[in-house]
Every structure is written in C-alpha cells, then in structure tokens.
Amino acid sequence: MVRRVFVVLAFLATFAVAGLPQWYYSIKDTKIQKEEFFHILKPLVEKENQKVLMERAFIIAYFQYKKRHKEISLPLKEKFEAIVKKYRIKNRENMEEFLQKIDAIPVSLVLAQAALESGWGKSRFAKEANNLFGEWTYGKKGLVPKNRKPGQKHKIRIFNSIQDSIASYMLNLNRHAAYKEFRMARYLARKSGKQFSGLQAAMTMEHYSGIGERYNYLVRSIIKKHALHRLEERATYVTAL
C-alpha cells in the first residue's frame, strides 16, 4: 500500500515541477530509484507520442481532403505549412515522406536513452538544464561542458522542463538526417503491420554517440535489463494510424 501511494505521488509530482522532483534524488535504494525514474518519465513520453500521432493523423486527413477538394481553407494550409517546416519536409506533395518522419518513438528507446544520457537524471545537464538527452546548441543560451575542448563552441541546451527535453529529442529522431535508418526501419515495420520495438530501434542509434555501434548495445542492454520492452505492449497511445 505504501509503495502504491509512493508511485501515485511520483506520478502527480511529474506534472508539478519542471525537472525531476527533489524526492527522487533522496531515494537511497538504487533499484527503487531507477524504477521511479521510469515511472516519472513514461507518462511524459506517452504524452509526446500522442502529440506526434495527432500530427500524423492530420497529415493523412489533409492529403485525403486535398484529393476531393480544389480549395483548402487558410487555417488548414497554415497548419500544414507549420508541419512542413517543423519536420523539414523536402517534398510537400509526397505523403510518404511525412509518414516516415511523423510517427511515435518506442517508449522503451526513449526511457533507455534518457537513463543513459542523463546518468539516471543525476548529471549536471539534467539537474541544471532539464536536458535528459545531451542535446547541443550553438546559441547564446546553454551550459558550457566542463570537458569541452579548446576551439569547440557547442553548449548543452537548456530546457524549461523535462517535457520539453523529451519533445526536442523526439523531433530530433524524427527529422535529423543522422536517424534516417531509424525512420525507415520504423516505416517498413508499420507498413507490414508489425510492431517496431525499442530493441529494434536501438540498433539504429549508432550516430547518437561518438562510440558508434557500441552505443546501440548499451541502449539495448538497458531495455533488456529493466524489461522496458514490455511497456510497449501496454502503451496508451494509438499506433494504428
């Protein structure tokens, strides 16, 4: 009973703070702390996946509508153009390009990379910048890495919340050229009616880190060790679109 109350409080606290709640860092038991890390992030990941799938549904409906009507209202055009810009679509007449880029990210992949990149939320970047995935920026606002080499100008992006960090990471996977293999594997799996799991997705992440293919296996090991792939069997977002 106490454990259940603790989990409920964890869930509620997620929506009350920008970063990971302070009680999370006070947990002494490493196993419990890692479990809470996933409990906190999972609903946030699913929330972002819902947003992405709503955009996907809009694009499908837009192309269907366009086939039947000569005129398209200004609000629809503006929303379409916003999505084109957001996902860096090159051929706006090709619905397949949209569908390859606008899709959900396996929950287990997101959770595993968040744990790996942020040291389970304990890294300086996670605590000071709400940055769970080590994303860079070259703008004025950002944290300078302590081990940044002379001549390098990158900084660690600062986010207003961990929700924003998750959203940015997902958009990065969905539009950056480095993750084209990831998107194609996901697209082909969906097209054939198969589930695209985090374990499969992990094997396309070699460009996320400077260590190459070894990074793929590090992500897979976290997914397997914590049975995160089981979460995809109970995911709350719709995957049939």
pTM given for the model: 0.87
User: What count of residues does the chain have?
Assistant: 241
C-alpha 4, offset from chain centre: 27
pLDDT at 218: 98
Q: Taking each helix axis as running N to C, give the angle between helix 30-68 and helix 107-118, from 0 to 180 degrees, rounded to the nearest 10.
A: 130
pLDDT at 233: 64
Each residue's pLDDT expressed in tens, for the chain with a length of 241 residues: 334 434 444 444 444 458 999 999 999 999 999 999 999 999 999 999 999 999 999 999 999 999 998 899 999 999 999 999 999 999 999 999 999 999 999 999 999 999 999 999 999 999 999 999 999 788 778 777 778 778 777 888 999 999 999 999 999 999 999 999 999 999 999 999 999 999 999 999 999 998 999 999 999 999 999 999 888 765 544 444 5
Long-range contacts (CB closer than 8 Å, 24 or more residues apart) made by 132-139: 132/41, 132/162, 132/165, 132/166, 132/169, 133/165, 133/168, 133/169, 133/172, 135/165, 135/168, 135/169, 135/172
